[in-house]
Amino acid sequence: MNPQESPETILAGWRFQWFGWLPLEQVQDPDWCPEDLVLLVNYLQETPIVMLPVSGRPLVCSLCGEIIGKNGAIQSDGVFIWPISLGHRVKKHHLRLPTNFIEHIRNRNYVIREEMLSLEEEDHIEMLQLQIERYLLDQ
Ligand SMILES: [Zn+2]
């Protein structure tokens, strides 16, 4: 990835179905403040955790010290996957979301699908494996 690229450029061209693992400074944009930011953040934060490492130590935000959740936890709405820190970083630290991810959330009217909320743990694991395979194919 070209280090000269602005967050806006990187995120406009984002074509993956994962997000939230880039260094914060690459995708931080204090000027980004869409009208539906609260709805986007709620969607990110309320989507179920699909993978929780056994150790599950608390994840403390390195920027503000807030406890975000369990370290290593991954959330998914069945299409995108992201780390538990993403909602917090968007809400508190001006992390900008990729265009395709925003459009996806808006297309769903900020509603988390019922089937995601009622998944059993083994369904989560199966789904996550599919998503990781998709992620690896993107590389
Ligand atoms: Zn923080």
**Ligand 1 centroid – CA 96 distance (Å):** 14
67-70 and 58-60 beta bridge pairing = antiparallel
Residue 2, pLDDT score: 58
Q: What is the pLDDT of residue 90?
A: 97
Is the dihedral angle over the CA atoms 77, 48, 92, 67 positive or is it negative?
negative
| Number of other residues whose CB lies within 10 A of the CB of residue 65 | 7
In this predicted structure, what is the pLDDT of residue 53?
77
- pLDDT of amino acid 72: 87
The pLDDT value recorded for residue 115 is 77
Tell which phi-psi region holds residue 78, choosing left (phi > 0), alpha (psi between -120 and 50) or beta.
left
Ligand 1 centroid from CA 13, angstroms? 26
Name residues of the chain where pLDDT drops below 70: 1-3, 119, 121-122, 124-125, 135, 137-139
Ligand 1 centroid – CA 67 distance (Å) = 8
C-alpha of residue 54 to centroid of ligand 1, in Å: 23
Q: For the chain, give the number of residues.
A: 139
Spacing, Cα 38 to ligand 1 middle (Å): 16
37 Cα: distance to centroid of ligand 1 (angstroms): 17
Task: State the Cα–Cα distance between residues 18 and 80, nearest whole angstrom.
Answer: 5
Alpha carbon 54 to its chain's center: 21
The per-residue pLDDT for 133 is 72
Q: What's the gap in Å between 105 CA and the centre of ligand 1?
A: 23
What's the confidence (pLDDT) of residue 138?
A: 64
* pLDDT for residue 92: 96
